[in-house]
Amino acid sequence: MTPIICLMGPTASGKTGLAVELAKRLDGEVVSVDSALVYRGMDIGTAKPTAEEQQGIPHHLLDIIDPIESYSVSAFRDDAMALIADIIARGKQPILAGGTMLYFRGLLSDMAELPAAQPELRARLEARGEHEGWAVLHAELARLDPEAAAGVHPNNRQRVVRALEVCLSTGRPMSALWRDKTPMLPAGEVAPEFPWPVVQLAVRPEERAVLHGRIEQRFDLMLAQGFEQEVRALFERGDLDVNHTSIRCVGYRQMWEYIAQNISWDDMRAQGLAATRQLAKRQLTWLRGWRNLTSFDTLSPNLTTDVLKCLEKHF
User: What is the DSSP secondary-structure string of 249-263?
Assistant: STTHHHHHHHHTTSS
Beta-carbon neighbour count of residue 307 at 10 Å?
A: 21
Residue predicted with more confidence, 303 or 158: 303
State yes or no: 100 annotated in a binding site: no
Would the pLDDT of 279 be above 60?
Answer: yes
Average pLDDT of the residues in 238-259: 95
DSSP, collapsed to helix, strand or coil, labels residue 6 as strand
State yes or no: 2 annotated in a binding site: no
Residue predicted with more confidence, 172 or 297: 297
Q: Are 170 and 177 in contact (CB under 8 A)?
A: yes
Least Cα distance to 151 among 138, 134, 140 occurs for: 138
Structural domains in the chain, CATH included, are 113-180 (1.10.20.140), 208-283 (1.10.287.890)
- Stretch (H or E) spanning 116: none
State yes or no: 70 annotated in a binding site: no
Q: Using pLDDT thresholds of 50, 70 and 90, give the confidence band for residue 114.
A: low
Q: Using pLDDT thresholds of 50, 70 and 90, give the confidence band for residue 111.
A: low
- Stretch (H or E) spanning 95: strand 93-98
pLDDT, averaged across the chain: 92
State yes or no: 14 annotated in a binding site: yes
Would the pLDDT of 113 be above 80?
Answer: no
| Lowest pLDDT segment from 6-15, 102-111, 133-142 | 102-111
DSSP, collapsed to helix, strand or coil, labels residue 201 as strand
- Condensed to tens digits (0 to 9), the pLDDT of residues 165-182 reads 889 988 888 877 766 666
State yes or no: 24 annotated in a binding site: no
Q: Are 264 and 272 in contact (CB under 8 A)?
A: no
As a whole-number percent, the residues of the chain with pLDDT over 90 amount to 75
- Condensed to tens digits (0 to 9), the pLDDT of residues 210-245 reads 999 999 999 999 999 999 999 999 999 999 998 898
Look up the pTM and report it. Answer: 0.80
State yes or no: 3 annotated in a binding site: no
State yes or no: 10 annotated in a binding site: yes
Burial classification of residue 202, based on how many CB atoms lie within 10 Å of its CB (0-12 exposed, 13-18 middle, 19 or more buried): buried
State yes or no: 16 annotated in a binding site: yes
As a whole-number percent, the residues of the chain with pLDDT over 70 amount to 95
Would the pLDDT of 200 be above 80?
Answer: yes
